[in-house]
């Protein structure tokens, strides 16, 4: 009956990213059950072009729907609570920094996506009267980021528009005082 079990080293899984995209992991991409979890993390970081990796990790759910962080120093087969195939991992922020302005743009974007996801799913408490405004700001932020990435010309226009509005606000403030 061993012929029906398949190869014990075969691996198939997915990583769900914060922007709701997926990365498929297979043994063809070099991932096996005997691989260290860092191999998956490296594929994710490479896919996202991320350099500041210490803030992020991969979570998975066990059969009781409890989440666990994937330990990068262990092999996948050493994670006893890992269920699959398919193996499902969730990319997320493990640690926040005190000053996100010192981080690279891609890292800040991932932080932003994590906070948005946590607010939407109720993991980050938000008073009911602030929810509509917060959701509107999140949508506006996502729209601005998409426009920001489209073309250098749009990027420059947006920056100039922002500077112009800021100057007008400062001018109004001076007139009031």
Smallest Cα–Cα separation from 117: which of 137, 138, 147? Answer: 138
Domain that holds residue 34: 12-150
Residue 95 belongs to some domain of the structure: yes
Q: Residue 56 — pLDDT band, cuts 50, 70, 90?
A: very high
Read off the pLDDT of residues 8-44 as tens digits, 9 standing for 90 and up.
667 788 999 998 899 888 767 777 777 788 888 888 8
Residue 158 belongs to some domain of the structure: no
Q: How many domains does the chain have?
A: 1
Phi first, then psi: give them for residue 33, nearest 5 degrees. Answer: -65, -25
93-121: average pLDDT:
86
- Residue 109: which CATH number? 3.10.20.90
**CA angle, residues 49, 13, 112, in degrees to nearest 5:** 40
Beta carbons of 43 and 23 less than 8 angstroms apart? yes
Smallest Cα–Cα separation from 8: which of 88, 90, 89, 76? Answer: 76
Residue 88 belongs to some domain of the structure: yes
Q: Look at residue 134 in the predicted model and tell me its pLDDT.
A: 84
Residue 107 belongs to some domain of the structure: yes
Q: Look at residue 151 in the predicted model and tell me its pLDDT.
A: 58
Residue 156 belongs to some domain of the structure: no
pTM score, whole prediction: 0.70
Residue 21 belongs to some domain of the structure: yes
């Amino acid at each position: 009956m061993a012929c029906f079990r398949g190869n014990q080293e075969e691996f198939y899984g997915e990583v769900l990213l914060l922007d709701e995209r997926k990365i498929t992991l297979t043994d063809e991409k070099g991932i096996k059950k005997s691989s260290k979890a860092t191999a998956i993390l490296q594929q994710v970081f490479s896919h996202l072009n991320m350099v500041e990796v210490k803030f992020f990790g991969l979570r998975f759910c066990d059969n009781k729907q409890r989440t666990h962080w994937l330990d990068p120093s262990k092999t996948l087969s050493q994670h006893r609570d890992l269920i699959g195939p398919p193996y499902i991992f969730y990319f997320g922020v493990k640690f926040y920094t005190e000053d996100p302005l010192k981080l690279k743009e891609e890292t800040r974007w991932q932080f932003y996506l994590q906070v948005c996801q946590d607010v939407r799913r109720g993991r980050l408490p938000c008073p009911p009267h602030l929810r509509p405004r917060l959701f509107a700001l999140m949508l506006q932020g996502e729209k601005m980021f998409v426009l920001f990435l489209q073309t250098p010309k749009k990027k420059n226009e947006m920056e100039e528009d922002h500077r112009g509005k800021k100057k007008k606000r400062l001018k109004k403030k001076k007139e009031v005082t």
